[in-house]
Amino acid sequence: MPHLTFGRHRMRPVANGPAVRGLHGDVSMAELLLRFLLGGVAVSLFAAIAEVFKPKTFSGIFAAAPAVALVSLALLFGQRGGAVVREHALGMAWGGVSFLAYACACVFTTARTRLPVWIGAVVSWAVWFAVAAVGWVWVRPS
Amino acid sequence: MRPEVDFRGLEKPKAWEYAVRFGFGGLVALIASVTGAALGDFAGGLALAFPAILPAALTLVKEHDGRQQASDDARGARLGSVGLTLFALTVLLLGPRGPWLTLPLALLVWAAVAIGTWMLIYGRR
C-alpha cells in the first residue's frame, strides 16, 4: 500500500485521491471529510450534553471539552502512532493554556454591555493567538 | 450550589443552532489537520485547542438567556480549559501505551479536573 510522507514519519492514507499538500505532509480529501464529519458530530454531542446541565457556569465547562481532540487524536493514533500523538499533545497542552487566557478575555468582553457578545468573543481570539505564539517560540521542540 | 440535570434544555436550541455547532466543530477538525500538515505536529496540537466554537456558543446563550448567562458560560469554559490542558498532558504521558488506555483516561482526567474545580469554586456557594 502506498504511504504519504510526513517529515520523517510515514502515514497510511485513508484513501487515494486528491490531497492537501503541506511542508510537513499531505492530507487526503477523504481524510479531511472524515475529520470534518467526526469533529462535527463530537462537538454537537458535547453541546447537547451542555444543554442538559444547569447552571451556565457548569454547562460552560463543555465549551472547552476535548471533542475535536478525541476524534483527531484517535485517528492520529491509528495512522501515525503514539510518538506523533505525543507531539500533538504537547502543542495541545499549551493550546489549553491559550484557551484559558481566551476564556478569561471572554468573561471580560461579555460583561461589556456596549460590545456585541460575538464581536467580543471573536476579538478575544487575538489573546489565544498571542499566548499560542509564546508557546510556538518557547515551548515547541526544535 | 449543585449542578442540575434538566433534559428540557435539549429542546431549547433550534435545529440550525445544532447545525452551526456541527459546522464549527467540523471546521476546527479540518483546521487542526491542515495546520499539522502545514506547520508540524506542535502547531496541529495547538489547533486542537483553538476555541472556534465559543463565539457562536456565547452568542446563542446570550440570545436565549441573556448577557449574564453568556458571561457565566465563559466562566465555565475557563474551568473546562484547565481540564483541557490536563487532558493533553495525560496524552503526553500515556501516549506510548496506545489509544484504548490513553484517550478514555485523558477524558476522565478532563472531566475530573473541570468538575472538581467547579465544585471547589461554585459548589460551596
How do residues B58-110 score in pLDDT, each as one tens digit? 999 999 899 999 999 999 999 999 999 999 999 999 988 989 999 999 999 99
- pLDDT tens digits, A90-139: 999 999 999 999 999 999 999 998 999 999 999 999 999 999 999 999 99
Tell me if residue A139 falls in helix, strand or coil: coil
Cβ-nearest to B46 among A94, A102, A110? A94
Tell me, yes or no, whether A89 lies in a domain: yes
Residue A23 binned pLDDT confidence (cut-offs 50, 70, 90): low
Tell me, yes or no, whether A123 lies in a domain: yes
Chain B residues in contact with A69 (beta carbon < 8 A): 48-49, 84, 87-88
Q: Does one domain contain both B42 and B98?
A: no
Would you say residue A7 has pLDDT above 70? Answer: no
Q: Does one domain contain both B1 and B30?
A: yes
User: What is the H or E stretch that residue B25 is in?
Assistant: helix B15-39
Q: Give the count of Cβ contacts less than 8 A between chain A and B.
A: 344
Residue ending a domain, among B65, B94, B113, is B65
Q: How far is CA A82 from CA A53, A77, A98, B72, in A?
A: 34, 6, 24, 37
| Residues 69 through 108 of chain B touching chain A, CB cutoff 8 Å | 69-89, 91-92, 95-99, 102-103, 106-107
Which residues in B45-80 are b (16+ Cβ under 10 Å) and which e?
A: bbbbbbbbbbbbbbbbbbeeeebebbbbbbbbbbbb
Tell me, yes or no, whether A121 lies in a domain: yes
Partner-chain contact B18 A67, CB within 8 Å: no
Separation in Å, CA of A33 to nearest CA in chain B: 8
Does B44 reach chain A within 8 Å, measured CB to CB?
yes
Partner-chain contact A107 B51, CB within 8 Å: no
Our count of domains for chain A comes to 1
Q: Does one domain contain both B61 and B40?
A: yes
Our count of domains for chain B comes to 2
Partner-chain contact B42 A27, CB within 8 Å: no
A32 in Cβ contact with A19 (< 8 Å): no
pTM, rounded to two decimals: 0.89
Cα–Cα distance between A59 and A3 in angstroms, integer?
43
Q: Does one domain contain both B16 and B75?
A: no
Tell me, yes or no, whether A51 lies in a domain: no
Partner-chain contact A117 B70, CB within 8 Å: yes
- Mean pLDDT for B7-22 is 87
By C-alpha distance, the chain A residue nearest B41 is A88
Q: Can you give the residue range of the structural domain that contains A114? A: 82-142
Q: Can you give the residue range of the structural domain that contains B72? A: 66-125
Residue ending a domain, among B41, B65, B89, is B65
Alpha-carbon torsion (B89, B91, B96, B100), positive or negative: positive
Q: Does one domain contain both B2 and B55?
A: yes
